[in-house]
Amino acid sequence: MVKMVEYEDASDEVRAVYEDIMAARKTDWVNNFWKALATHPDTLKRTWKAVKEIMSAGALDPLTKELIYLAVSVTNNCDYCIHSHAAAARKKGMTDEMYAEFLDVVGLANSANRLANGYGVPVDEAFRRF
């Protein structure tokens, strides 16, 4: 849909983000997602800033965050996102066994969500906090 922006053709503004991505990830290349977003530098900068803030260690560790991200991407069937974040999760320690268990949970939740919808299950009082 768009012509991706390669490093050689990038403006200084875009290059600065590319440099920051490579530094943060300790790699010497930038993946296609960012090269597509670079066609609109504001989107590139805002999205990268959000990714840096949100996906880094906090109360949750980075691998757990990758699995949460992947659960969304598998549910929505975003092929690019599944590939890129499965790679990121593996880099952070995800094994084949962990991925298989992860998919079991994603499948179960997608199924149980529809059983709850279809049976019209009312929320238990004990589950309401406020």
Query: Considering beta carbons, is residue 16 or 60 the nearer one to a copy of itself?
Result: 60
Q: Where are the alpha helices (DSSP H) in the chain?
A: 12-25, 32-37, 41-55, 62-76, 79-91, 96-119
DSSP state of 126: G
**Among residue numbers 25 through 64, which ones bind a copy of itself (CB under 8 A)?**
29, 31-33, 36-37, 39-40, 42-43, 46-47, 50-51, 53-55, 58-60, 64
Torsion of CA 115, 117, 118, 122, to 10 degrees: 100
Site membership for a copy of itself, residue 126 (CB under 8 A): yes
Count of residues engaged in binding a copy of itself, rule: CB under 8 A: 82
Site membership for a copy of itself, residue 71 (CB under 8 A): yes
Site membership for a copy of itself, residue 75 (CB under 8 A): yes
**Among residue numbers 81 through 110, which ones bind a copy of itself (CB under 8 A)?**
81-87, 95-110
Q: Are 105 and 112 in contact (CB under 8 A)?
A: no
